[in-house]
């Protein structure tokens, strides 16, 4: 379990945690890292960067002596300052896979008759430290799911705002490794599941199997790859599922009905409905055809349908909820607010205010 500090647990909880099932892959990686599991009266639970235990299933226990576990990549922190309730919440989240976290979140939203607020940011703009603070702010504001983009030099699905953001991030030294390291620090301390938005080239370069393992290791819940067709998602979905990750697929206004049905049935976590024919960007109104598309897609799936591209105001999010969407995805406006501010501090202030407006537009109705 990755926490900002080590967590002291009583025997009863440790016994429960250490009996959680491990997949053969996790057992092998744990063995390779010389990590052990033991029931002890007082212990620290750790998750390490060189083990797929980041998938939140391999919980490693060792006697509390302030020792470092799992080799040089693992860090032992000081005594915790958490309430008992928060400790148990963190532990419960750690025991879940990304798929389970996502399913639980949308199940709760459905029970509350609430449309999800799904903000998007580009990692590393204006810098990685600010992105980390921004993710925590979005969670504090009440984001239900957070979508985080890996900066890429040729983001063909993105408009000028997000393209410029990715360019700034890359110019500032952002890399996939740095993004995942930052995400790994954040995910244990936020409630919102994280969806990583990544173009296919970085996945191919790293190797799809290793890429999925690294995402699970960082506590990511789902992956969205915008530049591969449905037919090429099949092997990716298998690899993602093996790591407990959802693979979110997109459908558009120009997708033929038969193909949209296949996409709706193949996606996991939720279905991403692109609201317009074009790239991401801020728009003054929502395309009226979205209501028709949401209704059509309901015939094919009972999975959550989240709508993105062009959502920049609270009134847009409210309109999507009225049209029957399960989630409103807002990107360019938030990216612009954070990345184009005079200073990172001012950007974070503007981001919080804008995110709060969007959150407030989607109240629970249970």
CA distance 323 to 292: 8
Catalytic: 158? yes
DSSP labels, 211-224: HHHHHHHTT--EEE
CA dist list (Å): 252 to 3, 271, 300: 39, 11, 15
| Identified catalytic residue from 125, 147, 246, 326 | 147
What is the rounded end-to-end Cα distance, in angstroms, of the chain?
A: 33
- In whole angstroms, what is the distance from residue 189 CA to residue 359 CA? 20
Cα separation of 42 and 32, whole Å?
A: 25
Residues 6+ apart with CB under 8 A from 184: 2, 49, 54, 217, 218, 219
Pairing of strands 271-274, 194-197: unpaired
Handedness of CA 132, 134, 135, 141 (dihedral sign): positive
Let me know if 171 is a catalytic residue.
Answer: no
Sign of dihedral through CA atoms 223, 156, 307, 238?
negative
CA separation for the pair 307, 66 (Å, rounded): 47
- Under 8 Å between Cβ of 220 and 102: no
Pairing of strands 327-330, 271-274: unpaired
Please state, in angstroms and as integers, the Cα–Cα distance from residue 294 to each residue in 134, 251, 264, 306, following that order: 30, 11, 11, 9
Candidates 144, 158, 214, 321; catalytic one? 158
From the number of C-beta atoms within 10 Å of its C-beta (0-12, 13-18, 19+), residue 37 rates as: middle
Which active-site residues does the annotation give? 147, 158
């Amino acid at each position: 379990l990755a926490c900002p500090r080590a967590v002291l647990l009583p025997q009863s909880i440790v016994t429960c945690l250490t009996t959680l099932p491990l997949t053969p892959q996790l057992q092998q990686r744990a063995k390779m890292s010389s990590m052990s599991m033991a029931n002890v009266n007082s212990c620290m639970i750790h998750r390490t960067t060189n083990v797929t235990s980041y998938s939140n299933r391999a919980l490693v226990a060792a006697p509390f002596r302030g020792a470092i576990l799992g080799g040089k990549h693992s860090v032992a922190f000081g005594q915790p300052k958490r309430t008992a309730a928060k400790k148990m919440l963190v532990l419960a989240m750690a025991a879940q896979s990304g798929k389970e976290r996502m399913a639980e979140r949308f199940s709760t939203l459905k029970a509350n008759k609430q449309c999800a607020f799904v903000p998007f940011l580009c990692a590393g703009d204006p810098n990685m430290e600010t992105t980390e603070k921004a993710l925590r702010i979005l969670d504090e504001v009440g984001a239900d799911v957070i979508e985080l983009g890996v900066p890429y030099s040729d983001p063909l699905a993105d408009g000028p705002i997000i393209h410029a953001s990715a360019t700034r991030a890359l110019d500032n030294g952002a890399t996939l490794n740095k993004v995942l390291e930052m995400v790994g620090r954040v995910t244990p301390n936020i409630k919102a599941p994280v969806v990583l938005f990544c173009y296919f080239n970085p996945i191919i370069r790293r190797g799809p199997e290793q890429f999925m393992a690294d995402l699970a290791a960082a506590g990511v819940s789902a992956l969205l790859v915008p530049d591969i067709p449905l037919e090429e998602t099949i092997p990716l979905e298998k690899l993602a599922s093996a790591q407990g990750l959802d693979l979110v697929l997109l459908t558009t206004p120009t997708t033929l009905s038969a193909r949209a049905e296949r996409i709706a049935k193949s996606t996991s976590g939720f279905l991403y409905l692109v609201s317009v024919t074009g790239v991401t960007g801020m728009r003054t109104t929502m395309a009226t055809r979205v209501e028709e598309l949401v209704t059509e897609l309901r015939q094919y799936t009972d999975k959550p349908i989240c709508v993105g591209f062009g959502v920049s105001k609270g009134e847009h999010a409210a309109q999507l909820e009225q049209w029957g969407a399960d989630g409103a995805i807002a990107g360019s406006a938030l990216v612009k607010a954070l990345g184009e501010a005079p200073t990172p501090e001012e950007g974070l202030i503007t981001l919080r205010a804008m995110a709060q407006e969007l959150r407030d537009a989607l109240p629970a109705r249970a």
